[in-house]
Amino acid sequence: MIQIKGLNDTDVDISEAERQQFESTLNSEVLYEGCDEYEQSRQIFNHIFDRKPALIVKPTGVADIQTTVQFAAAHRLLIAIKGGGHNIAGHASCEGGILLDLCLMQGVYVDPKTQQVRVEAGTLLHKLDHETQAFGLAVPTGVVSVTGVAGLTLGGGFGWLTGKHGLSIDNLLAAQIVTSDGKVLNVSKNNHADLFWAIRGGSGNFGVVTSFLFQAHPVGPEVLFCGPMYAIDKAESVLLKWRDFMTHASRDLTSVAFIYRVPPSTHFPKHLHNQDVVMLAGVHTGESKEAKKQIEALRHFDGLIHDATSIMPFEAVQQWFEGWDVDKIQPQRFYFKSMFTNQLDQNILKEFIDGFRLRPLATCQGNVSFVIQCLRGVYREVPEEATAFGSRDTDFMLESNLAWIDANFDDANIAWGRALWDRLAAYSNNNRIYLNHSGVEEDHVGQLPSVFGKNYDKLRQIKKKYDPMNLFRKNANIPPAD
């Protein structure tokens, strides 16, 4: 007999006969503590979470996902889904339950004629980029290539193409999903339209998405990467000028401001090492000569100390922010917070920049970055009711991304991060946060009505329809109606 954590947080006894029957129906590897690969499979990107599932199933196809979900539902067992394992809040792991590790499902199938791409749920962004760029195409995804496609998409999906082509969910045409009753559904605007609507921003609440069908777009193979870097003491004036510039910029340009300390890496000139800077990063997908003209002003503000602007392969841009030697320090622990705002004036910038200056340097040994995303173009044009993601009426998203190594500093660093966002809350737009960067699991409890706005009640009804027992609760959890 083995014990597996149940949905009510008590252990459920599973007899040896039941376990053997379950495993005999699988064509997948099942891992237990002590087995080869168990330790590697249970780990996720954020090492704050050191959870040990009772068992791990590594499916190679949809049939074994279906069988595992049916087994978990029949016994009311806790189940977590790991796509890329990059979720900062820790949803892709569980203690004592069942972990579905989708890492073996990384197929990417590009149709160059329709420019559509089917992607399996264990795929990381760099593999998707590699396959699509072979045809001069790209799917709008994130800015860190080791991120999983599944988690990024289900939460929204911001990246270098957001201004030109919208979020990842805005380019999702269809998906296949295993629901809590074990059914395999193909969803789109014309098939189970309510479920298709819900998974576009509603996180992993509604089932195990096994594959995605995206609309890709002609991008690259080379694009203009915008990368002027300014001294931190000029950050406020630089960011105000950047704000004004982006008001009238072409939608071909998606820009993100990064405030961070330059690591002692071969990626940067030595004279920049350990300097605090603000970088006006961006990607312009237009013709190179015209693109350079359009971003010229961003490269000549007062306080310029380095300019990494260049024409480079789109794949290289996607990997630019993880190409630093310091990233090889593992394992790291993370605390990311975010908020949406329509204000980017001197008051909020002072609070935000002061927060970066006062960050807990003694304990945060990893890369710490404060980020401002400028939201415009196609992102702003999608109606609130079109996807579960909700309102698009915000101009900026702010993030603080803390990283450290020593577990002894977990409580202090998390408390510091929360205190910063308590101070910034006065500037937020309806207390909205980005669920993919929402602290740790407990941080978004009580915030979901604000996150989803008028879409929240509809999401609860859809949750009740497709997952009435709340089997899929290891996420930014939306409770079933009633």
pLDDT tens readout for residues 219-236: 989 999 999 999 999 999
The residues, ordered by sequence, that sit 6+ positions from 244 with a Cβ below 8 Å of its Cβ are: none
Q: Contact at 8 Å (CB) between 100 and 79?
A: yes
- Is residue 292's pLDDT more than 60? yes
Q: Average of pLDDT values for 284-294? A: 91
Per-residue pLDDT tens for 123-146? 999 999 999 999 999 999 999 888
Residue 23 shares a structural domain with residue 157: no
Structural domain includes residue 473: no
State the average pLDDT over residues 464-475: 96
What is the structure's pLDDT at 366?
62
Domain that holds residue 91: 2-101
pLDDT number for residue 446: 76
Give the pLDDT score at 13. 95
**pLDDT score, position 365:** 67
Range 295-313 average pLDDT: 95
Q: Are residues 303 and 443 in the same domain?
A: yes
The answer to whether residue 462 is domain-embedded is no
Average pLDDT value for residue range 238-266: 93
CATH of the domain at 232: 3.40.462.20
Kindly state the average pLDDT of the residues 363-385: 89
CA dihedral angle for residue 471, residue 472, residue 476, residue 477, rounded to 10 degrees: -30
Which residue, among 141, 144, 198, 199, has the nearest Cα to 171 in the 3D structure?
Answer: 141
- Give residue 322's region: left, alpha or beta (phi > 0; psi -120 to 50): alpha
Tell me: do 71 and 195 sit in the same domain: no
- What does the pLDDT read at residue 324? 62
In this predicted structure, the answer to whether residue 154 has a pLDDT above a threshold of 90 is: yes
Residue 76 belongs to a domain? yes
- What stretches of 268-380 adopt beta strand conformation (E)? 276-284, 304-307, 310-313, 333-341, 369-374
**pLDDT tens-place string over residues 173-186:** 999 999 999 999 99
Locate 223 and state its tokens: 């694009």
In a domain, residue 458? The reply is no
The reply to whether 213 and 238 lie within a common domain is: no
Q: Clarify whether residues 162 and 227 are in a common domain.
A: no
Task: Pull the structure tokens for residue 169.
Answer: 């969910």
pLDDT of residue 43: 94
Nearest alpha-carbon partner for 392 in 170, 138, 147 = 170
Beta strand pairing status for 172-178 and 208-215? antiparallel
Residue 327 has pLDDT above 70, yes or no: no
CB atoms within 10 A of CB 132: 26
As a whole number, mean pLDDT of residues 26-31 equals: 95
Q: Are residues 442 and 416 in the same domain?
A: yes
Rounded Cα distance between 337 and 54, Å, is 30
Whether 208 and 305 map to the same domain: the answer is no
Q: Where does the pLDDT of residue 323 fall: very low under 50, low under 70, confident under 90, or very high at 90 and above?
A: low
Taking the model in full, what pTM does it have? 0.94
From 101, 130, 148, give the residue that closes a domain: 101
Q: What is the pLDDT of residue 437?
A: 85
pLDDT of the residue at 331? 76
- Let me know if residue 463 belongs to a domain: no
Q: Are residues 250 and 167 in the same domain?
A: no
- pLDDT score of 36: 84
**Domain C-terminal end among 204, 219, 234:** 219
Q: Does residue 375 share a domain with residue 279?
A: yes
Q: Residues 158-181: what's their mean pLDDT?
A: 97
Res 343: pLDDT: 85
Q: Let me know if residue 456 belongs to a domain.
A: no
Give pLDDT, residue 477: 93
Q: Give the per-residue pLDDT at 409.
A: 93
**What integer pLDDT is reported at residue 329 of this predicted model?**
57
pLDDT band for position 432 (cuts 50, 70, 90): confident
Give the chain's end-to-end CA distance (angstroms, integer): 35
- Say if residue 88 is in the same domain as residue 174: no
Question: Which one of 203, 219, 235 terminates a domain?
Answer: 219
CB 314 within 8 A of CB 220: yes
pLDDT at 330: 66
Residues 6+ apart with CB under 8 A from 234: 278, 301, 302, 303
Instruction: Check whether residue 207 and residue 243 sit in a common domain.
Output: no
Rounded to whole angstroms, the Cα distance separating 396 from 248 reads: 15
CATH assignment at residue 54 = 3.30.43.10
The number of domains in the chain is: 3
Name the more confident of 117 and 453: 117
Are 187 and 236 found together in one domain? no
The pLDDT confidence band at residue 283, using thresholds 50, 70 and 90, is very high
Mean pLDDT of 300-304: 95
Q: What is the pLDDT confidence band of residue 267, given thresholds at 50, 70 and 90?
A: confident
CA distance 458 to 452: 10
Percent of the chain with pLDDT over 90: 80
- Looking at the predicted structure, is the pLDDT value of residue 66 above 90? yes
